[in-house]
Chains A and B, each alone.
Chain A
C-alpha cells in the first residue's frame, strides 16, 4: 500500500488542521496541533489515555470548541462558519462514539432514517428505504424494528456506523469505537470498519486496537502531551518507531517484545 502523501499528491486535502489549541484552565490539551487528511486516508490515532486524542477528534466536528487555530474542510474554516452553515457541513464529517449514543426512543430504522429525513432533505419513505439498504449491507435488516435497548453492544455500534453513513459523509471520525464492547463483540465492529476502509472511505480512528491500526490504517499518529509526536505509515510506526515514548508505549501495549 502506498503512503497517503504519495496518494494525495496534487490533490486537495479533505481536512487540514492548523495550529489547533485547546486548554481546560491551566491544562493544555491541544498545543498547536497541525496535520492534514487526504481523501482515502485511514488514520489511526494512538496514545496514552488522557493525552488529548478524544479532544482532538471531537474538535474536528465542533463537539469541542478549539480556542485558536483553523480546521479547513475542503478549504473552508469550520471555526468561522455560522451555526447554520456548520449544521449543513457537520454531517459530512460522520462521527461514531464510544458509547454508541443511539437514540433510545427510536427503532433501529428510525435511528438511521431520522437525520436524512429531517436534515438531509429526503422524504420519509426515501430515508427509510436508504436506511433499510444500509442495514442490509451490514446484516442488520432483521433488527430494523428493534429498539436500541434490545441490541447487543456490537449490533448497537454497527447501527451507529450505519446511522453515520446514511448522511453520506466524506470522512467518519471514530472515537474509541470498540472500547465499550465486550471482547467477543469487538471483531464484528472492526470487520465492518475494515470493509469501509477497503471501500475507500476516509476515516480517522482513535483506538487501542493495535492490530487493527497495524493492518488497516494508511497512517498512524502517536498523540501525546497535546501534540502529534509521530505521524507515519503503519509499517514504520510499528516496526521502527522513531520516538522513544512511542517505543515505550508500544512495548507496554504488547506490540513489541
Chain B
C-alpha cells in the first residue's frame, strides 16, 4: 500500500517515473543504467518514455493481467478491483494509482505502464481520441453507478430518487445515453430552473462521457441528468468540481448535497453515504496500447508545436483554465500573504515580548504551541483539515478556505522570521527607551518594531514566494487554481508537456518577478543604512 503510494508519488514527480519501467525487463535494464549517468538522456527518457520500444503487454483474460504494469484512478472501483486482484495474485506492486484516469492514460501512452483499468464508457472516449489504444476483449468487471447522498439526509435521498423515477418516465436518461454514450442524436437537457435554493453537486469532471469539461463547462451524461433532477426538485443546480477521491468525503461532510461522479456502489462507500437508484449500468474495461503504438507516437511527435499549442490552449478557449487559475492563485497567494504577515506579526510580538520583558506567559505558551503544530505538519494536511473538519458544517467559499489555510500556515513561519528580527534589535535600544521613560509598549511601537520590520522585509518577501508555490495544492479542495488549470487541460488533451510547461513557466515568471522585487528591496534597505 505504502509502496504503491510512493510509486504514485514518483510517477507524479515525472523524472522518477521514467526509471520505474526500466527495472522490470532485463534487456532495457543496462541501457537505462547507462542513462542514469547522463542526466541529459534522463530528460529524454522523461519525454519520450523509455518503455516505448517494449512489446505491449496484452493479456487475454483477467488473470493474465498479473505481470503487467497496471494504472487506475485512485479510489475508483477499478482501483478497488485491481487492488484485490493483484494482491491475490501477488503482484500488488505492479499497480499504480493516478489522480485521474486521463493521467493514467497519458502515463500508458508514454510507456510508463502497460494497461489502464477504467470504466467502459470513459475507455471508449479515450479510444476515440487516441487511436493507438485498444480495449481488450474481456471485461474486467461489471458495475453500476449511482448518486451519493449523506447518510443523515434520507429525505433528500428520497427526493432525488423520486426525481430520477420521473426523469426515467420522461425518457430523459435514455435520450442522454443516446447523445453521450452512443453519440447519436443531439439531445441535451437544458436546465430551466434558474432560481430556487441551490442544490450543490460534487463531481470530478475527468470521467467522460459521464462528466467532463467542454468549452470550460462541466458537462456529461450524469451532469445533464443532474440538471433534470434539480429541475424536477425545483432547485437550482450548483456544480463543485474536485478531485475524485474528495467527492465522497465532500458529500459525507456536508460540503455538497449530493454527488454524481461515476460512483460505483461499493460496500465501503455505503458506510459513508447512501446511494440513489442506479444511474448507469456498465462494465469496467482494460485499455492497452495497440501494436501501432510506436508508429502513432511517431505521428504524435510530427504534429507541429503550433498544432499542439493550438490543441492545448486555443481550442475551445482552453487557455481560460490557466488564465482563471492564475487569477485565483494570485488572489489566494496575495490574501494569505497578508493574513500570514498580520498573524505572524502578532505572534512574534507576543513571543518576543515574553522573552524580552517577561509577562504574557499564557499567550506565549499558546503561540509556541501554535507555531510548533503548524510547522510540524504538512500544509497539505492543514488545508484538508480546515476544509473537511473546521469548515465541515459551514458552506464557505473555497478561496476563503485556502486563504485561511495558507494564511494560518504562513503566520507560523512569518512569526519566527519577525521574532528573529525583533530579537536582533540591539538591547541598547530598549535600555535607551527605558531611561527616557518610555513604556515597553511605546518602545516596541516607536523603536523596536520599525527596526525589526525593516530587517525582516526581504525574508518576508521570500516567505511570500514559497507561499505562492505552496498554493499549488489548492486543487485538493477543488479550487481551480493555476496548477489545476494545467491538470484540467491535461485531462482533456491527454498531453502532459504543453500544459505542465505552460503552468511551470507562469510560476517561474511570477516568482522571478517577486525575487527581483525582493532583491531590489534588499538593495534599497542596505543603501538606506549607509
Q: Is A154 in the interface zone, CB < 8 Å from B?
A: no
Binds A, one of B51-59, B287-295, B431-439, B503-511: B431-439
Q: Is B361 in the interface zone, CB < 8 Å from A?
A: no
Within 8 A of B (CB), among A156-175: 160, 163-164, 167
A207 shortest CB reach to chain B, Å:
18
The number of chain A residues with a CB under 8 A from chain B is 30
Q: Is B194 in the interface zone, CB < 8 Å from A?
A: no
Q: Is A249 in the interface zone, CB < 8 Å from B?
A: no
Q: Is B369 in the interface zone, CB < 8 Å from A?
A: no
- Provided the pairs A63-B431, A97-B431, A101-B431 are in contact, do residues A115 and B438 lie with their beta carbons within 8 angstroms? yes
Q: Is B43 in the interface zone, CB < 8 Å from A?
A: no
A94 neighbours in B (Cβ, 8 Å): 435
Closest to A99 in B: B428
A254 shortest CB reach to chain B, Å:
30
Question: A104–B429 contact, CB under 8 A?
Answer: yes
A77 shortest CB reach to chain B, Å:
18
**Main SS of chain B's interface residues?**
helix
Question: B428–A97 contact, CB under 8 A?
Answer: yes
Q: Is A81 in the interface zone, CB < 8 Å from B?
A: no
Binds B, one of A28-36, A84-92, A231-239: A84-92
* A63 CA / B529 CA spacing, docked (Å): 28
The number of chain B residues with a CB under 8 A from chain A is 21
Closest to B436 in A: A115
Within 8 A of A (CB), among B219-251: none
B435 neighbours in A (Cβ, 8 Å): 61, 63, 90-91, 93-95, 164
- Provided the pairs A90-B435, A101-B431, A149-B529 are in contact, do residues A118 and B442 lie with their beta carbons within 8 angstroms? yes
Question: B436–A119 contact, CB under 8 A?
Answer: yes
- Provided the pairs A103-B447, A118-B442 are in contact, do residues A91 and B436 lie with their beta carbons within 8 angstroms? yes
Per-position 1/0 for B445-459, Cβ under 8 A of A: 011001100100000
- Provided the pairs A91-B435, A167-B437 are in contact, do residues A101 and B442 lie with their beta carbons within 8 angstroms? no
Closest to A97 in B: B428
Question: A119–B432 contact, CB under 8 A?
Answer: no
Question: A90–B428 contact, CB under 8 A?
Answer: no
* A156 CA / B435 CA spacing, docked (Å): 17
B439 neighbours in A (Cβ, 8 Å): 87, 119
B303 neighbours in A (Cβ, 8 Å): none
Question: A87–B437 contact, CB under 8 A?
Answer: yes
* A94 CA / B448 CA spacing, docked (Å): 21
> Among B426, B437, B454, which residue has its beta carbon within 8 angstroms of that of A91?
B437
> Among B426, B436, B530, which residue has its beta carbon within 8 angstroms of that of A149?
B530
* A61 CA / B438 CA spacing, docked (Å): 13
- Provided the pairs A103-B447, A105-B450, A149-B529 are in contact, do residues A118 and B438 lie with their beta carbons within 8 angstroms? yes
B226 shortest CB reach to chain A, Å:
61
A-B contact pairs, 8 of them (CB 8 A): A63-B434, A88-B437, A94-B435, A101-B426, A104-B451, A120-B437, A163-B432, A163-B436
What 7 pairs between A and B have smallest CB-CB spacing?
A91-B437, A101-B428, A115-B436, A101-B432, A95-B435, A119-B437, A105-B450
With contacts A95-B432, A101-B429, A167-B437 known, what are 12 further pairs, Cβ within 8 A? A63-B431, A91-B437, A97-B432, A99-B428, A104-B429, A104-B451, A106-B447, A119-B438, A119-B439, A119-B442, A120-B437, A149-B530
